[in-house]
Amino acid sequence: MKILCIQDGHNASASLMINGEIILALQEERFNEIKNYTGYPYESVQYCLNFLKKEKLNLDLAGIASTFKNPYGDKIKMFNNFKPSDFKNWWKTKINFNYFVTKIGQKANFVKNKKRDKSTIKYLKEIRNKYKNKFEHYDYKFLNDNIINKPHLEIELFKNERLRKFSSHIGLSKDKIEFIDHHTCHAFYGYYSSNLNGKDCIISTIDGGGDGYKQTTWSVKNKKLKLLSRNNSCPLGKYWKIICVLLSLKPMEHEYKIMGLAPYAKKKYTDEVVREFKGLCEIKKYDILEKKLSNKSLSLYEFLEKKLSNYRFDAISGGIQKFTEDLVVKYITKILKKTKHKNFVGSGGLYMNVKMNKMISEIDILKNIFISGSAGDESLSIGACYFLNKGRKSLPLKNLYLGFKEEKIDIKKISMKFRLKEIKNFDPIIKELESGKIIGMYNGRTEFGARSLGNRSILARPDLKDTVKNINEAVKNRDFWMPFAISILKKHHKKFISNKKSLESPHMTLGFDTVKKNLKYIVSGTHPYDGTVRPQILEKNFNINYYKLIEKFYKKTKIPALLNTSLNLHGKPMVNNIKQALYTLSNSKLDCLIINYKYIVKKK
């Protein structure tokens, strides 16, 4: 069974499954270099089609993640084009208010459809043609004045257009293409891709919203997934988006910066902000629900703007992080007790928060937690494949090296512009690392998701404090308060990382405390203020060459880890192809680039 699915919203992607195994998963941003690209993932789909053609295979089924989407948000590509302040105007309008769906999530609920007010219509007319996008694959001509006050019609017409485009591109008839509910995709990705696939557990999905829901809770018993509850009320995703804007950051992109800033806040001020949030929502049965605001005349944005206006940026960051951690831990503890489950899977944008995941992992009654790589919307296309494969065996992901691979690298051409040396073993790479050099690693397939896992990485020894400053100045120009991460060999990791439950974290999705006496050996890959770490705990079969490289580094230095951050220039998506990798080398102070463990490339 060959299944191709797409996510055509925020951080668009395409994934290919063959006989229950995910073979390819690609993000469109890597091809078009627009971070978190929103829209039809043309190049990613084409890459899958080329693969099928080469293997002489035909598609059986296809799927589109998310049944209903707001066409205005997609046309203007708000998450690519908006400045933080633009979101304030968007949220003030009533564009989205009637995008409710029926209980089974399949049909737009026209009964609840309401007319838009004059100011919303004026705003839509102003912005619908405002942005010139570099890449546009959908035809939005249906968004005209005739339907500007018929929101239920515009989502149906957009649905038709999405189906038309995908069907004609892949050459599969429309009846073999299914739309799949947003949170169902999150849940199926979280469960089937993980090492808990096949085991009893709870699945929780929480995000900023999709197909009319913001939270779902599932129970898995005897390999059967049962939806316990879902709601459109859970406000956590909204809080984070609003706070991004209040701190002049980009929502759906910079939330991790708030998480990174949180540990710097003093407890007193953190607690004060937490108190401001208390009472805004409550846990009821399986749901986190928003309560009515005390001042009904204000929007949630205006309400929080007013409430938080006297707090500093660090206190707000610390407060929202602590409030989120406490609330989610309380909710998960409650559902674990209620269902008597001991295992937990989280999926959806909120579960990108590694610090929150750390707190969940420390719940006493929880035995095992698994958060798959990049639990945000980019992984919806993988979840959609798992959904369409239901009734047949679906395999967990072996690793995340599922992206683009350069078929042929023209070494001769590279040697004309760069100093190039062929290497027979790891020794020359170790020599560079040992001497404190910052190296770029380009190997095989690109990793799927937000984290570099050794194939498109910047590596350095993790025990030198200056490394953070050096990398920031040499390549990344990233925010001074943000931590880097490490890759560490599983067999030695407990000497450096506190992991009492022996949890697996191959995709850098869990935070851990460090073993204080050994912190100095991995210090530049930990949070500079609280010493926590977001490690890739590496097993041999995950990435054999990368494993051997770190093993060799360990033999020389007694440190079984390397600092690992993504190979990209500031503001650009992670490097995809060799051309982008060489561009990164040329336009940074990287000391060298390793290609497929065979060549060391340096600037002339």
Q: Which residues bind Fe ion (CB under 5 A)?
A: 207, 210, 377
Q: Which is nearer to Fe ion, 207 or 432 (CB)?
A: 207
- In the complex, the smallest distance separating the C-beta of residue 349 from Fe ion, rounded to whole angstroms, is 5
d(CA 478, CA 455): 21
- 184 versus 270: smaller Cβ distance to Fe ion: 184
In three-state form (DSSP H/G/I as H, E/B as E, the rest C), the secondary structure along 69-93 is CCHHHHHCCHHHHCCHHHHHHHHHC
Cβ distance to Fe ion smaller for residue 5 or 430: 5
CA 358 to chain centre: 17
Name the residue nearer to Fe ion (CB basis): 377 or 463: 377
Minimal CB distance residue for Fe ion: 207
- Cα angle at 491 between 490 and 497, to 5 degrees? 60
CA dihedral sign, ordered 207, 212, 215, 218: negative
Least distance from Fe ion to the Cβ atom of residue 234, Å: 12
Please classify residue 447 by burial: count the beta carbons closer than 10 Å to its beta carbon, then call 0-12 exposed, 13-18 middle and 19+ buried. Answer: buried
CB of 159 or CB of 527, closer to Fe ion:
159
Crossing angle of helices 354-361 and 313-339, in 10° steps, is 40
What burial class does residue 396 get, using C-beta atoms within 10 Å of its C-beta: 0-12 exposed, 13-18 middle, 19+ buried? middle
Smallest gap from Cβ 252 to Fe ion, in A, equals 10
Of the pair 234, 488, the CB lying nearest Fe ion is at: 234
Identity of the residue, 7 or 580, whose beta carbon is nearer to Fe ion in the bound complex? 7
SS3 454: coil
Residues 183, 216 contacting (CB under 8 angstroms): yes
CB of 12 to Fe ion, least distance (A): 13
Q: CB of 424: closest distance to Fe ion in angstroms?
A: 47
Minimum distance, C-beta of residue 261 to Fe ion, in the bound complex (Å): 24
The total number of residues shown for the chain amounts to 604
Q: How far is the CB of 13 from Fe ion (least distance, A)?
A: 12
Residue 241 CB, shortest distance to Fe ion, in Å, is: 12
Q: Return d(Cα 69, Cα 341) in angstroms, integer.
A: 34
What letter would DSSP give residue 115?
P
In the complex, the smallest distance separating the C-beta of residue 350 from Fe ion, rounded to whole angstroms, is: 9
Shortest CB 255 distance to Fe ion, Å = 13
Which residue from 598, 565, 570 is spatially nearest to 460, judged by alpha carbons? 565
Which residue, 212 or 560, is less far from Fe ion as judged by CB? 212
Token output for 186 = 């999150």
- Comparing CB distances to Fe ion, the nearer of 214 and 476 is 214
Tokens of 119: 């100011």
Burial 199-237 (b: 16+ CB within 10 A, else e): bbbbbbbbbbbbbbbbbbbbbbeeeebeebebbbbbbbb
360-369: buried (b, 16+ CB within 10 Å) or exposed (e) per residue? bbebeebebb
Q: Which is nearer to Fe ion, 354 or 593 (CB)?
A: 354
